[in-house]
Amino acid sequence: MTERNKEVAEMFARGATEGSSGHMFIDENTIYSYGRHFPIAKRYGNVFIFTTSSHSTTTSNHKGRVKEAIGIFRKILYLPDCDTRKSIEQKRLNEKEIERLLKLKKRFHLPERKAVYDAEISDMRKQNKMLDEIIPTLIAERI
């Protein structure tokens, strides 16, 4: 079953609009885990909106398969329930996380540890920049 999940995740990443395996399935530009109540990711051209939500170990495994299939060379935005309407909320959460990481970074003197925090902060800032640039376009295209 796990191999089939991997195949469905790869099909989704390549642009398939249908396919299923056990409890994971593709419908149009969305891949789901266990039903329409839990979208794992939505595809908008070369941009993927990936959920920050999680419900179970199996769903986490499904998410891992999809994230692996999408790969690191595509734009991935992280939003609760893959919902573009929650982009402002996510941006605020990211800003709070950046503040928290900056405070933690000040407590460490080891350059290696500071570099880890710098990388996390950089990732959050990139997400916020993409949220500012991409989400308005996606919302406008749906109108």
Q: What integer pLDDT is reported at residue 58 of this predicted model?
A: 86
Q: What integer pLDDT is reported at residue 90 of this predicted model?
A: 92
Q: Domain-by-domain residue ranges, the chain?
A: 2-82, 84-142
Residues 26-36 have pLDDT tens digits of 999 999 999 99
Q: What integer pLDDT is reported at residue 62 of this predicted model?
A: 93
Residues 15-24 have pLDDT tens digits of 999 999 988 9
Q: What integer pLDDT is reported at residue 108 of this predicted model?
A: 83
Question: How many Cα atoms sit within 13 Å of 51 on the Cβ side?
Answer: 20
Which two tokens mark 98?
A: 């950046």
pLDDT at residue 143 tops 60: no
Q: What integer pLDDT is reported at residue 1 of this predicted model?
A: 44
- Between CA 103 and CA 123 the distance in angstroms is 17
Burial class (CB in 10 A: 0-12, 13-18, 19+), 29: middle
- Between CA 63 and CA 40 the distance in angstroms is 6
Residues 82-125 have pLDDT tens digits of 988 898 999 999 999 999 999 999 988 888 888 999 999 999 99
Q: How far, in Å, are 79, 88, 106, 139 from residue 85 at the CA level?
A: 9, 7, 34, 8
pLDDT at residue 48 tops 90: yes
